[in-house]
Amino acid sequence: MTNQQMGITPRLARILMSEEAIYGLILVSGMVVVSGLSVGTAVNALVTVVVTVIVFYLAHVYAGTLGRLAATDGRATLRAGLAAAARQSGGMLLASLPPLVVLLMGALGILEENVALWFALIVNTVLLGGLGWFAVARWSTSRLSRIAGAVITAAFGGVLILLKAFISH
């Protein structure tokens, strides 16, 4: 199934298939594990993840802007560098939305808090697997390569789930 068949625009696909999107999901998973250990509430995890994602996004945009300005020896404008870095880093914000919705459901009492924490980690792992599958599909038609890409990418989330399980018990 192509991106167009799934209703994904080329721009959205580019944002989702970025290193920033994958990094953002791994960051969110790590923050869910860490915040869940300190207080163990979905509210705490939600606030911690939102603040952390925003700080990392802004830091990524800042670093990207500086890198672009340095790479052009000052020929690029600050506005152009900032806009390009913000676009490039957008995957970090976009990818964090599904687990944040799950955490919000826990904070609002729609899901039990512990269920929300675990479900957010599972959602992230599934999303990582999907991103790995579709990213590899952009350059390979091999089903085995796609499966390997999905498994390897999802494994980053899986390791954090194992960490939570190990520390929680």
pLDDT at 105: 96
Q: Domain for residue 2, yes or no?
A: no
**pLDDT single digits (tens) 51-96:** 999 999 999 999 999 998 988 887 888 899 899 999 989 989 999 9
Q: Average pLDDT of 139-156?
A: 93
What percent of the chain clears pLDDT 90, i.e. is strictly above it?
45
Q: Is residue 51 part of a domain?
A: yes
**CA-angle at 132, arms to 35 and 59, nearest 5°:** 50
H helices of the chain, in order, are 10-16, 19-38, 42-71, 78-107, 113-137, 143-168
CA dist 113 and 133 (Å) reads 30
The answer on pLDDT for 160 being more than 50 is: yes
**What is the reported pLDDT for 57?**
95
Residue 59: count of CB within 10 angstroms of its CB: 11
Rounded to an integer, the average pLDDT of 95-111 is 94
Is pLDDT above 70 for 3?
Answer: no
Is the pLDDT assigned to residue 163 strictly greater than 60?
yes
Our count of domains for the chain comes to 1
What sign does the CA torsion over 125, 131, 136, 142 have? positive
Residue 100: the pLDDT is 95
> Does residue 84 sit within a domain?
yes
Q: What pLDDT is attached to residue 5?
A: 44
14 has a pLDDT exceeding 90: no
Location of structure tokens 């606030």: 47
Would residue 92 count as lying in a domain?
Answer: yes
Boundaries of domain holding 117: 10-168
Cβ neighbours of residue 88 closer than 8 Å, sequence gap 6 or more: 18, 20, 64
- Inside any domain, residue 1: no
One-character DSSP codes across 124-138:
HHHHHHHHHHHHHHT
Q: Distance between CA 104 and CA 153 in Å, rounded?
A: 25
Query: What confidence tier does 108 reach under pLDDT thresholds 50, 70, 90?
Result: very high
In a domain, 5, yes or no: no
What pLDDT score does 168 carry? 63
Closest listed residue to residue 42, CA positions, set 92, 98, 97, 110: 110
116 inside domain: yes
Whether 26 maps to a domain, the answer reads yes
